[in-house]
Chains A and B, each alone.
Chain A
Amino acid sequence: MFNLPPPEILLQLSLNGALGGAMYGVAAVGLSLIFGTMRLIFLAQGAMIILAAYFVRALFYGLGIDPFLSLLIVVPVGLVVGWLIYQGLFRKAAAEEDRNVSLLIAVGLMFLVQNLMTVIWGGNTAGVVTSYTATGIELLGVRTSFTRSMGFLIALAGTGLVMLFLRKTIVGKAVRAASEDMDAATLMGISPHRVNAIAFAIGISLAGAAGVAVATTFPFNPFAGFIFSLKALVALALGGIGNVTGALAGGILLGLIEAYVQFFISGGWTNAIAYGVFLLVLMFKPEGLFSRPYKKA
């Protein structure tokens, strides 16, 4: 057996894992909303996050807008883009019974976005380096990077806003009703196209917020998005599909698992173990780790 490392290293690991995992979480919240209403695995989510990251980078180097300030631009743009993506690409497919069609449109969109980014910005790794990129801060007695902590805050705030929207507004309630039972919701006068479009708009604007976090923290390239989509799916399954706070918690848990596996076993096994946990959860606790099992009527 291995020796347990000193507590400050454990704390450090946990903190970094949780902070990194929050980014998977915010991507998973977006996936969760889209999956909830449309039953669509939106594989292009990761590509949209990277697209947002490139957009943030262009704003920073082109116009000198601070990456965190650019949230004010990226999030509204994301809302509009998400709405347009739904109306232009998925509206017809959503009515189709064969859900392969929407899945494939998502795959096509992923190809398209990835390769457009390559054409525009080249295939090399890019990053955003600001005056505070290398700055560290003290948190709970451990040092961590400022940008990672900001990413965590963005994830928390994003999820919190979505929660408020779903719980407190009438439109949010309609989205929740549609995720639970689209047929019943339609009978109550909820337009499926409107809730789907809203889910997409919020999902893509969350991708925008995640893009800000990614751009400031990691180097990225046009093809980094797909791994993000997969990780977000894992986070989604851990948290319970259709459970918004669960998705964020699932992301944080995934970040922790990755950090521990990297430290105690080896970096090469992180993905296998993350997906192994994913399969086990899907099989034995498909409602997610954080929700009480409920009986279907």
Chain B
Amino acid sequence: MSRALQWIAVLVVAALALLPFVPGAVDAYYFSFLFFVFLYAIMAQSWNLVAGYGGQISLGSHAFFGLGAYTTAILWSGNYLWGSLYDAHPGMYYFDPVTMLFGGLVAAVAAVFIGLPLLSKLHGDYFALGTLGFGEIVKVLFVNGGDFTGGAFGIVAPASAFDTLRPHYWVALGLMVATALAIRALMRSRYGLALIAVRDDEMAASANGIDTLKVKVAAFAGSAFIAGVAGSLYTYYIFHVGPDSVFDLDWMLLPLMMTVVGGTGTLLGPILGALVMYAVFDLARIVVPDYHPVISGLTIILAMLFLPKGMMRLGVMQRRKSA
């Protein structure tokens, strides 16, 4: 990233962080729109880490998102963390960092458990199929989880009435920035180089002493951690966590689509893709409510036909052509 672009990014983030102070902004429609853009951008970064940088196409992000969401709802409704402190402070679980961390950790641990056998045995498309199957299994486990998971209905978090979206907005923005910075730092580290080496040529990477399985499982777990935290964040927005809502395949498909449209394996691609694609979907929902999923489908197809490398690479290609 060039120096100028870095400054632009800092300014944009600062402006977004100050936005809730603008009178009337919180009640405006675009406020919740931005919250969802941030949420999807986090999910897109999560997918980009394992698939874009790591080259392992995972079709199981929705499982990790749901695990994070359920972990948060279960810890909260059962008050497993804070005991009597919770009685004194009823708002305690709201955006509680420890609860959110648990959301991410549960997803990451699940990713290690499923990633070790899958990634050591399966390559390419077979890994993608395996993660898809894993996602469906997790969903069925939660539907059949009895009282612990609330069965097919799910769990309603013991939240008081919803008064403002401000904290959601800030937390989502903060997490999006933190995710991007963490991935940036990661990709500049020794580990990041190893991950890219594994993606580009696994055999050569392994011949150079890289433990490819470890590198791939770590990327898978890191991606799951991010998705789990995003799921946790979503619980604070939706309050009712059910198998059909948080394990919905859209939580995997949409971030995947946003990343590819924005540019896989780039840092800003997932964010840009989330913004543009969510804007298209939302606009379609407002303008042609009856047809909006049709428009969404068309948009994906058109984007893939005419922009297969993603928007971030558009500039690069043009520069190369003119050079």
Contacts and interface: CB of A to CB of B under 8 A. Distances in A.
Interface residues of chain A: helix, strand, loop or mixed (majority): helix
Nearest to A107: B253
24 contacts: A89-B301, A93-B305, A93-B308, A100-B51, A101-B308, A105-B300, A107-B300, A108-B301, A108-B304, A111-B293, A112-B298, A114-B297, A115-B294, A115-B297, A119-B290, A119-B291, A272-B137, A272-B140, A275-B134, A276-B137, A279-B130, A282-B122, A283-B118, A286-B122
B143 interface: yes
Contacts of A103: 57
A165 B125 CA distance: 27
B304 A279 contact: no
B245 interface: no
Given A100-B57, A100-B260, A226-B249, A283 B298 contact: no
B91 interface: no
A110 B301 CA distance: 10
Interface of A: 35, 39, 41, 89, 92-93, 96, 98-105, 107-116, 118-119, 226, 230, 233-234, 237, 268-269, 271-272, 275-276, 278-279, 282-284, 286
> Of B129, B144, B257, which is in contact with the most chain A CB atoms at under 10 Å from its CB?
B129
Nearest to A101: B308
A116 B300 CA distance: 15
Given A111-B293, A119-B291, A100 B134 contact: no
Interface residues of B, number: 41
A283 B304 contact: no
B319 interface: no
A50 to B, nearest CB: 15
Contacts of A104: 256-257, 260, 300, 304
A296 B56 CA distance: 23
A41 B125 contact: yes
A47 to B, nearest CB: 10
A208 B253 CA distance: 26
B153 to A, nearest CB: 14
B133 A115 contact: no
- A-B residue pairs, 6 tightest by C-beta: A112-B297, A111-B297, A108-B300, A272-B140, A115-B293, A108-B301
B156 interface: no
B109 interface: no
A110 B130 CA distance: 21
Nearest to A108: B300
A214 B305 CA distance: 32
B136 A275 contact: yes
Contacts of B140: 268-269, 271-272, 275
Main SS class of interface, B: helix
B308 A98 contact: yes
Contacts, number: 123
B144 A272 contact: yes
A119 B249 CA distance: 21
Contacts of A105: 300-301, 304-305
Contacts of A100: 51, 57, 256, 260, 264
B132 interface: yes
Contacts of B122: 282-283, 286
B132 A230 contact: yes
A278 B51 CA distance: 22
Interface in B125-147: 125-126, 128-130, 132-134, 136-137, 139-141, 143-144
B117 interface: yes
A184 to B, nearest CB: 19
B179 interface: no
B308 A109 contact: no
A275 B121 CA distance: 17
A102 B125 CA distance: 13
A109 to B, nearest CB: 6
Given A108-B298, A111-B294, A112-B294, 15 more contacts: A92-B305, A100-B57, A104-B256, A107-B253, A108-B299, A109-B297, A119-B294, A234-B133, A271-B136, A271-B140, A272-B140, A276-B137, A279-B137, A282-B130, A284-B121
